[in-house]
Amino acid sequence: MSVLSESLILHKTVKKHYLSLAKGTECQVTYVWIDKTKEHLQCKTRTLNNEPAGIRDIPEWDAFWTDGDPTEVILIPVRMFRDPFTLNPNKLVLCEVLDSKRDPIGGHQRSHCVQVMEKVKRFEPWFGMEQEYMLFGLDGKPFGWSPQGCPLTGVSCAVGINKVYGRDICICHYRACLYAGVMICGTNAEALASQWEFQVGPCEGTESGDHLWMARYILHRVCEDFGVVASLDAKPFRQSVYTSGCHTNFSTKEMRSEGGLLYIEEAIRRLSRRHSQHLCVYDPHGGADNMSRLCSQSLTSSYDEFSAASGRRNVSVRIPDHVSRRGCGYFEDRRPAANCDPYSVMRALVETYEVNYK
């Protein structure tokens, strides 16, 4: 066992004592925000005298972005969760990041997404997001893999120690999200032995993005406790056909109602005309990540050409079989990369479908 591994075990064992210490009515609130990259998260914690009853009871705070020139920013609490690491009454709070003029900074899209969702709220847009991720050890190698490489299963939802690695992490993340109040609705193993997926939603409007970002934060914190790294890289291995996405399910009240398949098909037609525009916002690098991910292999569609079908997975947009049979429901946009900004994805879907919402 390495010195680093021994240190991790000691750290987690000792921590239990301190978390059991009694305290007064004070509440620890951990502020969580998206950094300049629009991929990664940062956090810091402060003490409030009492447990906040709601988001309005949590004050603004400031922070510094240190990537490049240090920039002072304002943290605006937008959604509160229970803290699964230090337990209630302590809280996690997702924050927007504003500059000194109180404008969104660093390309942050939440406030823009909120504005768009307010304009289309009569359509009741619902989103469900399927977040795939890959586990790595601290040595940078895939978690659990032998020196010979990956025991490919080729299928998701596998069972067995020779087929999946890291199930304990998946289970603990699931339970921590439920405790926190994150709207996580499921999880499963993916095609690579240490690749997993969790699903968030369905949620209405911007709420889905808030819950996905907090679920990502909780995932990284759980992985800290296990001494592993969760990667949202869209292409974890350049030599493999297996990739990581954030497939996004979308519907409006018309799509979910009787005869809604007609609205779904119309939405897909509109999406087909804006394929390149969507790919530009479906990963944080203007489409570069999806250019390597969407390679027309067995599980992905083409980067260059839009496609849609019922029941198939190697397409840009999929209509689930049960939706086709019922004649209503939702569609799945399979193009967003695992490291996408959910606010950008949701905004693009709504703006393309509800072209006349203004």
pLDDT digits (tens, 9 = 90+) for 140-160: 889 988 776 666 555 788 898
User: What pLDDT is stored for residue 313 in this prediction?
Assistant: 84
Model confidence band, residue 11 (pLDDT cutoffs 50, 70, 90): low
Note whether 220 and 285 are same-domain residues.
yes
CATH of residue 143: 3.30.590.10
User: What pLDDT is stored for residue 153 in this prediction?
Assistant: 57
Domains held by the chain: number: 2
Instruction: Average the pLDDT over 335-340 and give the result.
Output: 97
Note whether 233 and 345 are same-domain residues.
yes
Amino acid occupying residue 148: Q
Tell whether the model's pLDDT for residue 181 goes beyond 60: yes
The proportion of the chain whose per-residue pLDDT surpasses 90, expressed as a percent, equals 70
Model confidence band, residue 161 (pLDDT cutoffs 50, 70, 90): confident
Residue 200 resides in a domain: yes
Note whether 202 and 229 are same-domain residues.
yes
Note whether 75 and 123 are same-domain residues.
no
Residue 99 resides in a domain: yes
Phi, psi for residue 21 in degrees, rounded to 5: -70, 140
Note whether 178 and 306 are same-domain residues.
yes
Range of the domain at 45: 23-107
Q: Are 332 and 316 in contact (CB under 8 A)?
A: no
Instruction: Average the pLDDT over 294-304 and give the result.
Output: 80
3-state SS assignment for residue 64? strand
Closest by CA position to 258, among listed 164, 328, 307: 328
Residue 10 resides in a domain: no
Single residue among 42, 72, 107 that ends a domain in this structure: 107
Using left for φ > 0, alpha for ψ between -120 and 50, and beta otherwise, residue 96 falls in beta
Instruction: Average the pLDDT over 296-325 and give the result.
Output: 89
Pull the structure tokens for residue 3.
Answer: 């010195």
Mean pLDDT of all residues in the chain?
Answer: 90
Single residue among 58, 74, 107 that ends a domain in this structure: 107
Pull the structure tokens for residue 186.
Answer: 């499921």
User: What pLDDT is stored for residue 358 in this prediction?
Assistant: 47
Model confidence band, residue 183 (pLDDT cutoffs 50, 70, 90): very high
User: What pLDDT is stored for residue 2 in this prediction?
Assistant: 53
User: What pLDDT is stored for residue 311 in this prediction?
Assistant: 81
Single residue among 57, 87, 107 that ends a domain in this structure: 107
Note whether 98 and 140 are same-domain residues.
no
The proportion of the chain whose per-residue pLDDT surpasses 70, expressed as a percent, equals 90
Note whether 259 and 277 are same-domain residues.
yes
Note whether 125 and 102 are same-domain residues.
no
Residue 169 resides in a domain: yes
Q: Find tokens 């999406």 and name the residue.
A: 271
Residue 14 resides in a domain: no
Q: Which residues contact 349 (CB under 8 A, 6 or more apart)?
A: 125, 127, 248, 250, 271, 333
For 200-240, write each residue's pLDDT tens digit.
Answer: 999 999 999 999 999 999 999 999 999 999 999 999 887 66
